[in-house]
Amino acid sequence: MNYIDGLRADTAVLPNGMVFNARIKFMERICQALANNQLPKYHFPQFQLTEKEITSYMESNVNLDEVEFQAMSAHLEKFDHDLGEFRTYLQTRFGYWATITQDFTAAIKANFPNQSFLELMAGNGYLSKGLRDIGVETYCTDDLSWAKYNQTGNLALTEIESLDALSALEKYGNQVDNVIVAWSPDREDIDYKVLQKIRQLNVNFLLIGEKNGATDSKEFWEDAKLVEDPRIDKINQSYSHYDLVQDQLYLVK
């Protein structure tokens, strides 16, 4: 049983479980897009149940007898837990870490028009794929050192040049307007080394990550200077916060 089928099985044992069908269908469309080597069209809503939704659903089933009500409560809790596993599923099944969607990459193009990009540590190339699909000149690079651990690098969506981050900067850093990195690992200091190298170049450094959280090294966040920019604010309106992870796009100096 795949992840989406599991969610349907969860709701099948809930009274009036079809009230949750819309959110499952949205999640299914995301999985179908990724399975077809496409980006999801739209940034994601929150998938786990809000306190208001839980309260409303419980109140709508208040006529159940005590045994049925307890069973319903347990099934609802399992469903909500399984909804919370969506990010982990996307990471392990598709190597999809940053929540790159078509409306997000369109916002990048709109706010950085007629500019070129170099993506470092691209993984499966979701970000470069989205930019290239809308005509943005993009160099996509990764030495795929993660590929042996999970699906990152094993399901490439676009052509990826085999270069580590520092070699890619050496080759293309003077040819582009922007360098972009998404979800650099939090246990490696390559992002700190990239930051030092980029400071020697005349480029924007765009980074998708969670400050002092799920992404990037402690050394990086301590040294990075985050720049306030209305373009970044506009782009982030199309970036998904669908669970507890609060990653976003940053302009870094």
Q: What is the pLDDT of residues 9-52, one digit of tens each?
A: 999 999 999 999 999 999 999 999 999 999 999 999 999 999 99
Based on the fold, state whether residues 63 and 178 are members of the same structural domain. Answer: no
Q: Which residues of the chain are modeled with pLDDT < 50?
A: none
Q: How far apart are CA 38 and CA 60, in angstroms?
A: 39
190 in a structural domain: yes
Based on the fold, state whether residues 67 and 186 are members of the same structural domain. Answer: no
180 in a structural domain: yes
If you ran DSSP here, which 8-state letter would residue 20 be given? G
Based on the fold, state whether residues 79 and 106 are members of the same structural domain. Answer: no
59 in a structural domain: yes
Based on the fold, state whether residues 70 and 110 are members of the same structural domain. Answer: no
Based on the fold, state whether residues 65 and 168 are members of the same structural domain. Answer: no
Based on the fold, state whether residues 69 and 146 are members of the same structural domain. Answer: no
Q: pLDDT at position 155, please?
A: 84
Q: Is 37 left (phi over 0), alpha (psi -120 to 50) or beta?
A: left
Based on the fold, state whether residues 26 and 58 are members of the same structural domain. Answer: yes
43 in a structural domain: no
42 in a structural domain: no
Q: How far apart are CA 71 and CA 65, in angstroms?
A: 10
Number of domains in the chain: 2
Residues 6+ apart with CB under 8 A from 229: 251
* Pair 150, 211: CB distance under 8 Å: no
Q: pLDDT at position 148, please?
A: 53
Based on the fold, state whether residues 69 and 120 are members of the same structural domain. Answer: no
CA angle 105, 170, 114 (to 5 degrees): 30
Give the residue numbers spanning the domain of 18: 3-36+49-83
Based on the fold, state whether residues 23 and 76 are members of the same structural domain. Answer: yes
* Pair 210, 67: CB distance under 8 Å: no
Based on the fold, state whether residues 156 and 247 are members of the same structural domain. Answer: yes
The domain spanning residue 164 has which CATH number? 3.40.50.150
Q: How far apart are CA 128 and CA 191, in angstroms?
A: 19
The pTM of the full predicted model, rounded to 2 decimals, is: 0.94
Q: How far apart are CA 37 and CA 219, in angstroms?
A: 34
Based on the fold, state whether residues 60 and 128 are members of the same structural domain. Answer: no
